[in-house]
Chains A and B, each alone.
Chain A
C-alpha cells in the first residue's frame, strides 16, 4: 500500500470510530429542547440541568465508587493471577489462561443471570454493592490479567534471584524489584478495569438493588422517557471523566516503559 493512501485509509477508520463520539459531544451543546444533530444554537443549558439533577449526580457517584473498588480488587487479584501464570503455572499454564479469560468469552447476560442466582442462593441478595462489585471484578479481571502477564513476559526471573541473593525477602523482592518493572502492565490493567467497570450495563442492571443505579442504567432509564440534550451532556461528561482518569494516571503514576 502506498503511503498517502495508507494515511487516508487510517483517517477514514478513525473518523468512523470517533464520529459518533463527536456527534454526542456537539449535540450536548444544543440550545434546543430536543436531542438533534446538527444542534440548534450553542448553549451550556443542558450541562446546568445535568449538574442540578440529583438523580444523575448520585448515579455518577455510585459508578465512580464501584469503578474504584473494582479497579483495586481486580488489580490485586489479576496481578497475583498473572504472577502465578507466568512463573508457577507449569503444565497448567493453558488451563489457567482460559479460565482467566472465560468471562470475556461468555455472554455478559449469562454471567449476570448466573450471578443473580448465586448472590440470592448464598443469601447475599442485591441490597448491598457486594454482588455488583463481584460481577464487575469478574468482567474486568481478564483485562488486568492480560496486561500484567504481557509485562511479566519481559521480566527476567534472575532479577528476583539476584535480589534474593542480596538478602531481600519475598515481600521486598516484589515491592522493590518486580512491581516497579511490571508497573506499566499493572497500571494499564487497572485503568482498563476502571473504565470498563464505569461502562458496564448488563451486570449492573441485573445485580442492582432497588432504587440504586449506576450512570449507564440511569442514562438508559432517562432516555426511555426523555429525549433532551441532557443525555448528551451526561455522555460527554462521562467521556471527559474517563479520559481524565487515563491522562492523570499517566502523568502521576507514569506509564513509561523501561527499555532494557
Chain B
C-alpha cells in the first residue's frame, strides 16, 4: 500500500494554469475522488499522477519518493480509462497477462494471478473472449482486472462509468468500491458525477478552475460546504439570506443561531438542503413559518415541492410522500437550526 502526497502541483499549458498549486495528501488504502465540472483540472491532475502529463511545478510523492520525473511505465500504476482501452487484438487473458509479462513474471504465476483476478471481477470463464465479444459492463470489469492484476502502487480511474447506462452504473459503483476495500489499494477516482463521488469515496476533492475548493468526507462536502459554489455543485440547495444580529440570523424561517464570527448587520447566506425541511399541515399546531405550495413533483419514493414563503422566498423541499399536499395548499415549514450552514457574507 502506498501513501500519495501531492504538493503545490501546477500545470500550465501557456494560457494560465489548468491546475493551480494544489496539495492533497492521500493515505494508504484511501479512496479519493476528484470531483468538478469539465475543465476544472481534475483529469489533468490524474494524468500528472499517472505521468501522462508533465507537472509544470510541484511534487508528486509515492511513499515519500518524488515521481515527477519518472516515466509512466516505471511508476507502477494501474489505470482504468474512460473507454476502457482494452487491446482489441488480444483475448481477455492476453490483456490481463500484458502487464505481468512486462514485469517478467513467470508463466505459471501469470496463470494463477489471472485466474485469481478473473474470479475477483466475476469473469471466470471469459478468458478466451475478445473485448468486442463482451458487454460494456464486462469490458469495464476486464479493464479493472487488468489494472489490478499487476498489483500496482495506486489505482487511477478516469470517469470509468461514464459510458455505462444508469442501472449498470449504480451496480458498478458498489462493485468498484467493494473491490477497492478488499484489495486495500490507494485509489484516485476522477468524476464529474457528484453521486458517484459521494457514494464511493472516503474523501472528496472538489475542484473549480484548477483550484481545490474543498477536501472532505462526503458528509463534510454535503452538509458543511466550504462555499456557495461547492454547495450548489453537490446536490440541490436552497440559499437562505438573512441579516446577522446578536449571533442570530433572521430569515424567512425565523431566527437561526449561527456559530462563527459574523459582524452584526452583515447579510449572510445560509445553505439549507431540501430534505432538511419538514412540511406540516397548517392545523397541526406545530411551530413553523407558513408557506404556499407552488408545484410538486412525485417520483415514487420522494416528492419534490416548490414552496413560497412569506416575503417571496422560494424554497425547494424534498419529503417522503407520507402526507401529500396539493398545489396551492397552505403549509407550515420547519427546519432544525443545525441544518442551516453559513456560507459567508452575501456579495
Nearest residue, chain B, Cβ from A158: B85
Least CB distance, A131 to chain B, in whole angstroms: 40
A168 touches B88 (CB 8 A): no
Question: Which of A156, A165, A167, A177 lies in contact with B50, CB distance below 8 A?
Answer: A165
Residues in A whose Cβ lies below 8 Å from that of B298? none
Q: How many residues of B contact A (CB 8 A)?
A: 26
CA distance A55 to B78 in the complex (A): 63
Contact indicator per residue, chain A 150-165, by CB within 8 Å of chain B (1) or not (0): 0000001011011111
Whether A161 touches B81, Cβ cut-off 8 Å, given contacts A166-B102, A167-B150, A168-B102, is: yes
Number of interface residues of A (CB under 8 A): 20
Decide yes or no: A172 and B85 within 8 Å by CB, A165-B78, A167-B73, A259-B132 being known contacts: no
* Chain A residue with Cβ nearest B146: A166
Whether the Cβ atoms of B98 and A166 lie closer than 8 Å is yes
> Roughly how many angstroms separate A164 CA and B150 CA in the complex, as a whole number?
13
Check A166–B99 contact: CB distance below 8 A: yes
* B39-73 near A? 1/0 per residue, CB < 8 Å: 00000000000101000000000000000000011
Q: A61: CB under 8 A from chain B?
A: no
How far apart are B48's CB and chain A's nearest CB, in angstroms?
A: 14
Residues of B within 8 A of A168 (CB): 73, 98, 102
Expressed in whole angstroms, the Cα–Cα distance for A165 and B154 within the complex equals 11
| C-alpha spacing A164/B50, complex, angstroms | 10
Per-residue contact bits, chain B 292-303, to A (CB 8 Å; 1 contact, 0 not): 000000000000
Is B103 touching A167 in the complex (CB atoms < 8 A)?
yes
A93, CB-defined interface residue at 8 Å: no
Contact residues of A between 221 and 260, Cβ < 8 Å to B: 258-260
> Which B residues from 96 to 112 make CB contacts under 8 A with A?
98-99, 102-103
Contact of A169 among B73, B81, B87, B156 (CB under 8 A): B73
Is B322 an interface position by the 8 A CB rule? no
- A165 with B77: CB separation less than 8 A: yes
Evaluate contact between A159 and B85: CB separation under 8 angstroms: yes
CB within 8 A of B87: which of A167, A172, A177?
A177
B182 on the interface (CB 8 Å rule)? no
B81 touches A258 (CB 8 A): no
Question: In the complex, which of the residues B77, B83, B87 has the most CB atoms of chain A within 10 Å of its own CB atom?
Answer: B87
Cβ contacts under 8 Å, A167 to chain B: 73-74, 76, 99, 102-103, 150
User: B14 CB to closest chain A CB, in angstroms?
Assistant: 14
A181 in the interface (beta carbon within 8 A): yes
Shortest distance between the CB of B110 and any CB in chain A (Å):
13
Residues from chain B with Cβ under 8 Å of A260 in the complex: 88, 131-132
* Known A-B contacts A167-B99, A167-B102; A158 and B83 likewise in contact (beta carbons under 8 Å): yes
- In this complex, what residue of A is CB-closest to B50? A165
- Closest CB-CB distance, B193 to chain A, in whole Å? 20
With a cutoff of 8 Å between Cβ atoms, the chain A residues found around residue B156 in the complex are 165
Residues of A within 8 A of B317 (CB): none
Residues in chain A within 8 A of chain B (CB atoms): 156, 158-159, 161-169, 172, 176-177, 180-181, 258-260
The 4 closest A-B pairs by CB, nearest first: A166-B99, A167-B102, A158-B85, A162-B85
Known pairs A161-B52, A165-B72, A168-B102. 11 more at Cβ < 8 A? Answer: A158-B81, A159-B87, A166-B102, A166-B146, A167-B74, A167-B102, A168-B98, A177-B87, A258-B89, A259-B132, A260-B88
